[in-house]
Amino acid sequence: MTQTLSSRRIHCRDLGLISYNEAWDYQKQLHQYLINRKRNVDQELEEGVESNDHFFLICSHLPVYTLGKSGKMDHLLKSEDDLLKEGFEFFKINRGGDITYHGPGQIVGYPILDLDAFFTDVHKYVRFLEEAILRTLAEWNIIGYREPDYTGVWVMHDELPAKRKICAIGVHLSRWVTMHGFAFNVQTDLSHFNNIVPCGINSAERDVCSMETILGYAPDMNIVKQRLIHHFSEIFETEILQVSTIYRL
């Protein structure tokens, strides 16, 4: 049964700049917490967390490449040893999608939701994530859109020579509990995408971009983050409980 709006509370936690592995461990911890709850496993509730609450982690990562379960290793254009020497990490992970880059200047979002409380439709869930990004972009008069054959959010701009992806999306669900999420380029160093075939899309007509490349200046990350959280809350019809420190269950 779908929860009422008043019972859809999401703890939004800003983890700041954090290593991928640490954030992944925290995701897995919260993900298992929600699964255990569905299985009626006895577990201690964190202070301030009610029995039906969900989580939404926001962060930026130290430079890292991640390869989804359907990705191809040859889309990583350098050896792992070379990447390590240049200050990059690399992880094979269990989300959908191919390879992507995470780094400073990017807003990464990890909703950890029990979709039984919302709707049990993966495609609708991904569309909702895309919609949160689209509405955020619109506040800076950036027109984003969906490409029919690809997930994520794209931008077409007069000064851009190709279709550009501004937000990548890759998710994983177990027992309708979500993890992983989106990577939204705000003021990201786009040269780091040159070490990969982003999202496995090798086409001269498609590339990556950021809000900074479109606007000609770097927007305030905190303001973009706040507006994104606002639109996420509207789309999923939730009450957002926002804090700014890392928690552990």
In a domain, 248, yes or no: no
Determine the pLDDT at residue 175.
95
More confidently predicted of 113 and 71 = 113
- For 43, the domain range is 5-243
Mean pLDDT across the stretch 182-202? 86
Q: Is the pLDDT of residue 201 over 60?
A: yes
Q: What pLDDT, on a 0 to 100 scale, did the predictor assign at position 249? A: 46
Is 199 designated active site?
yes
pLDDT digit string (tens) for 84-127? Answer: 888 999 988 888 888 889 999 999 999 999 999 999 999 999 99
Highest mean pLDDT among 79-83, 158-162, 179-183, 242-246: 179-183
Q: Which of 129-138, 147-156, 229-238 has the lowest mean pLDDT?
A: 147-156
Confidence of residue 206 (pLDDT cuts 50, 70, 90): low
User: Confidence band (pLDDT; 50, 70, 90) for 2?
Assistant: very low
- Domain annotation covers residue 181: yes
Residue 31 in contact with residue 24, Cβ under 8 Å? no
> Does 175 fall in a domain?
yes
Has residue 29 been placed in a domain? yes
pLDDT of residue 1: 41
pLDDT tens string 144-182: 999 888 899 999 776 666 678 999 999 999 999 999 999
Q: Which residue has the higher pLDDT, 61 or 149?
A: 61
Domain of 189: which CATH number? Answer: 3.30.930.10
Check residue 167 and give its pLDDT. Answer: 96
Give the pLDDT confidence score for residue 207 in this predicted structure. Answer: 81
Mean pLDDT, the chain, rounded, equals 88
Per cent of the chain over pLDDT 70 is 88
Question: Is residue 249 included in any domain, yes or no?
Answer: no
pLDDT tens-digit map of 4-25: 554 689 999 999 999 999 999 9
Number of domains in the chain: 1
Candidate list 12, 59, 167, 199, residue with the active-site label:
199
Is 183 within a domain? Answer: yes
Question: Is 41 part of any domain?
Answer: yes
The whole-model pTM stands at: 0.91
Domain assignment present for residue 192? The answer is yes
